[in-house]
A and B are shown apart, each in its own frame.
Chain A
Amino acid sequence: MLNYILQRVGLAIAVAFTVSLAAFLLLNIATDPAYAIAGEEADPEVIEQIRIRYGLDRPLWVRYLDWLTGVLRGDFGVSYYWNKPVATLVAERVGTTLTLAFSALFVTIAIAIPLGAAAALNRNTWVDRLALWLAVSAQAVPNFWLGLILIILFAVMIPIFPVSGDHTWLHFVLPAFVLGASSVPPVMRLMRTGLIEVMGSDYIRTARAKGYRGQTLLLRHALRNALLPVVSVLAVQLGQKVGGSVITESIFAINGLGRLALQSILGADIPTVQILIFLFALVFVAMNLLADILNAALDPRIRIR
């Protein structure tokens, strides 16, 4: 098992840095940072001065290594736009985004798992059909539109939840719902198909032959097997929520990393964008790793060779 984990860690680190390299290349090739800083209408001399001042005249690979060594030291660079260290910007907002991400995960689990299980155990009844229709609809709803509709509902018609800002936990209810809803269809389907497969398996038949039935059969024999793949998918989903919070945070005016990302892009703030892409990738990769570890810990077939 140790072997397995070490292999995965090595892979994770390799991926994270490849991502940072890819992002660096893409961003710095797509545009000239000097123009971004100076503004569109600046004189060529001003641009040239900026280039020298920010070290943008050096070759690409030198700049990347410089950035990389900085990151490893903890120096995330300085934002062109906000004129603050990027690290500060990130630190101010990371807690908010994490709160949002975990709340969204909670929403996903609370809806998708019971619904998927109910659908699997009541195949081809109204419960099953409802669950599938819900999944299909939730997949088709644009999440930003869902957010706006909820704002109309809860700001205008039934004012229970605040729709802007992030001071109290109530502020997180609607955004968590919007962010979590987008993960519900895949997780629900996974739970459903997984449980259907498990209930049809040979070892469940053996359990029935020993006299297990109904709820006991489900809880004692089927659930653990069915949840195995779901757990690792949920870990990955959590990783995606951190990076996918851009829209939700913007709509509900939550000051998290997602909103920072949007503002940085629109403000052509390349250092911040670069760091955020790297961080989001790192979080995703870490969550993937967590998923692998959970898998290995929960599944004896992987844990014991």
Chain B
Amino acid sequence: MSRILKHPAQSVNTVEQLPPSPGQLARTRAWSHRGFQIGTGILILLILVAIFAPYLAPHHPFQQSLPNRLLPPVWVEGGNWTYPLGTDQVGRDYLSRLIYGTRVSITIGLSAATIGLLIGVTLGVLAGYFGGWVDHAVSFLLTTQLALPGLLLAMALVFFIGPSLIVVICIIGVLHWTYFLVVTRSATQHIRSLDFVAAARASGASSRQIIWHEILPNLSSKIIVIFTFELGIAILAEASLSFLGVGIQAPTPSWGLMIAEGKEAIFYRPWLVVLPGMFLFVLVIGANLMGDGLRDITSPEEKS
């Protein structure tokens, strides 16, 4: 076979540089994206707090001490350093409970978001790729799911089935796959219409091979972005359920539950409500900043 080199793709009189890969470009963008760095930093920090909770918390979160009930945090008159952020109605150290609370929120958030991902992405890719009746069925399922009042249904199910960790995770996960579905489905439809998928079919690839090799790699960055947002949503969902009394039950330290417990004393001891809320706020904003940052980094043309 002779070589056909008469039409070189580069200029005759200059030397071209190797173009950067998408990964390199993304890393460069990540280095200068303030929001992404802050968000990821917060998230990593709180995950570490969750993992090392036993070493960080000064007391055991369940340990009651009735003589020391309702102590204020250290910067308010009456507070002391033994209980830096004060105590709750039965004398448990607030700082320790807040630290252990990261475990609850992060575990439930990650697990529920993963369940949502598995359901939503699978349905989305199938609906987007195969179209036809599959798409119609999935669309109907989607509309039905969206019409269901999620919080209400979650409350009812958790209450009736029984509030355990697994139940809460599963129910939140099963009610939060719609965002994954919508984005994955339209992205799959778009990718499927591109010529490189047609070229793959012309080379003899089967549907399974195409979905795995051509479509999923082009979806991965979108899916990760949605995962971070759903993480925040799942965390807030658990907090809402626990606040209403149909989520995590006492004495486990869930931040939402702590806010509910502190609600009674809200006027004289506002820290009982303010502190857990701040932790929730920081964790979720970390996840959201990371998600926004990831979106800007991986597809700068969609920057919003």
Measuring CB to CB, which residues of chain A are less than 8 angstroms from any residue of chain B? 11, 14-16, 18-19, 22-23, 26-27, 30-31, 36, 136-137, 139-145, 148-149, 151-152, 155-156, 189, 192-193, 196, 243-244, 246-247, 250, 261-262, 265-266, 268, 273, 276-277, 280-281, 284-285, 288
Contact = CB atoms under 8 A, between A and B. Distances in A.
3 shortest interchain CB distances as A-B pairs: A243-B149, A145-B277, A31-B160
B149 A142 contact: no
Contacts of A139: 232, 284-285, 288
A122 to B, nearest CB: 15
A146 to B, nearest CB: 8
A213 B261 CA distance: 57
A277 B148 contact: yes
Contacts of A192: 304
Interface string B261-284: 001001100100110110011001
A263 B267 CA distance: 24
Contacts of A145: 259, 273, 276-277, 280-281
B118 interface: no
B284 A281 contact: no
9 contacts: A140-B288, A142-B239, A148-B266, A149-B273, A152-B266, A196-B304, A277-B149, A277-B152, A277-B153
A149 B270 CA distance: 9
A14 B161 CA distance: 28
Given A142-B277, A152-B274, A196-B304, 11 more contacts: A15-B147, A19-B147, A27-B160, A30-B157, A136-B35, A136-B288, A140-B232, A148-B263, A152-B270, A193-B304, A288-B147
Nearest to B302: A193
A16 B147 contact: yes
Contacts of B280: 140, 142, 145
A244 B153 CA distance: 11
Contacts of A262: 155, 244
Contact of A244 (B143, B151, B243): B151
A26 B157 contact: yes
Q: Label chain A's interface by main secondary structure.
A: helix
Contact of B243 (A247, A284, A288): A247
B148 A265 contact: no
A141 B236 CA distance: 8
Contacts of A136: 35, 285, 288-289, 292
B156 interface: yes
A300 B149 CA distance: 33
A36 B159 CA distance: 11
A23 B144 CA distance: 11
Nearest to A192: B304
